[in-house]
Structures are given as C-alpha cells and as structure tokens.
C-alpha cells in the first residue's frame, strides 16, 4: 500500500494524493465524483490522450469505504491539464461555476507564462543590445584615442628629430 494524504474536499468528496516512490499521484474517480461527471468517459479520454495515456497508472488506495481499492491515478503534475479538458457543460450544476472559473484561470496562466517569457526575452535582448552599443562606443573611443596617440607620438618624434638636427633653420 502507498502513502496517502488528503489534499482537498470538493463537494463533500475527499481528494487524496498517493506517494509512490517519491512521485505524487491523484486518483481520478473521486475528482469525477466531486464534479458530478461519469468516470468511464473520463477514463476513456485519458486512455485516448497521447500524453496522458502514458502517465495513467493503477494504484491500490484506501477508498471512502475504508477498503483497499485499485484506483486509476495520474501524476499530480498532469491532473491540472486533464482538469482543463473537462467541459463545464458536462459537470454537475454545483461544480459548473468552479470548473468554468478554473478553465478561465488556466487560460490566463498560460497567457501570462508565454507572454511573460516573451517579455523576458525582449527585455534580455534589449539589455544585450544596450551593452553591445556601449562596447561599440568604447571601441570607437579606443580607436580615437589610438589615433590621437599616434598623432602625438608623431609630433614628439618630429620634435626630437628637430632637436637633434645640428643645422639651424631660418624659417
């Protein structure tokens, strides 16, 4: 038997997690019960989903009746995505508003994730452009300084040459 923890009670149904070798799983049937949707169609949907089907597992858990039951479970990190696929029109009236609100929040979180990522990329790119501009300015200043140095060294050389020249100049 695996280690279980209660994480929520939804519409009077206890939702637990199951720790199996350090990975957290959630039985699906209690969530279906809490939302007032039929488990078999949801199980079929999980089996047909290319991503979720590879994560579905059967784990022995203690059911609401205190008996050991084999439960269809998803890793916790996949439960949120599965919940997002549930159509609010198919859930019990008592759960419809919550499911609709959850789906809206998912849309917003996805938007924020991807646009924030894009904003971070733009911000990073702008910072890089600013630094490259500063480097370019420093290189230009360095070139100007080298040119000025060469000019001054040439003047110095000319002065030394004239100083060492024993011939007087009239003009």
Q: Predicted confidence band at 151 (pLDDT cuts at 50, 70, 90)?
A: very high
d(CA 163, CA 167): 10
In 3D space, the residue among 79, 66, 69 whose CA is nearest the CA of residue 8 turns out to be: 79
Q: Considering the domain boundaries, does residue 98 fall inside one?
A: no
Q: Considering the domain boundaries, does residue 13 fall inside one?
A: yes
Q: What is the mean pLDDT of residues 26-30?
A: 89
What number of CA atoms fall less than 13 Å from residue 2's CA on the CB side?
Answer: 23
Q: What pLDDT score was predicted for residue 5?
A: 65
Q: Predicted confidence band at 171 (pLDDT cuts at 50, 70, 90)?
A: low
CATH number at residue 42: 3.10.260
Domain count, the chain: 1
Average pLDDT of the chain is 85
Q: Considering the domain boundaries, does residue 80 fall inside one?
A: yes
Q: What pLDDT score was predicted for residue 158?
A: 86
Q: What pLDDT score was predicted for residue 168?
A: 67
Domain that holds residue 49: 3-86
Q: Considering the domain boundaries, does residue 14 fall inside one?
A: yes
Q: What is the mean pLDDT of residues 18-37?
A: 87
Q: What pLDDT score was predicted for residue 154?
A: 92
d(CA 39, CA 45): 10
Is the distance from CB of 88 to CB of 100 less than 8 angstroms? yes
Q: What pLDDT score was predicted for residue 51?
A: 92
């Amino acid at each position: 038997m695996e280690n279980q923890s209660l994480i929520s009670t939804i519409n009077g149904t206890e939702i637990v997690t199951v720790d199996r070798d350090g990975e957290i799983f959630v039985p699906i049937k209690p969530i279906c019960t809490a939302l007032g949707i039929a488990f078999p169609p949801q199980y079929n949907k999980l089996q047909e989903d290319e991503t979720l089907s590879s994560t579905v597992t059967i784990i022995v858990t203690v059911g609401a009746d205190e008996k050991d039951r084999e439960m269809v479970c998803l890793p916790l990190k996949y439960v949120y995505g599965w919940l997002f696929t549930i159509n609010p029109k198919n859930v019990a009236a008592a759960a419809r508003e919550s499911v609709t609100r959850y789906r809206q929040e998912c849309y917003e979180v996805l938007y924020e994730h991807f646009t924030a990522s894009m904003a971070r990329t733009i911000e990073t790119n702008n910072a890089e452009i600013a630094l490259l501009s500063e480097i370019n300015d420093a290189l230009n200043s360095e070139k100007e300084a080298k040119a000025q140095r060469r000019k001054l060294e040439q003047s110095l050389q000319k002065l030394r040459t004239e100083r060492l020249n024993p011939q007087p100049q009239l003009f």
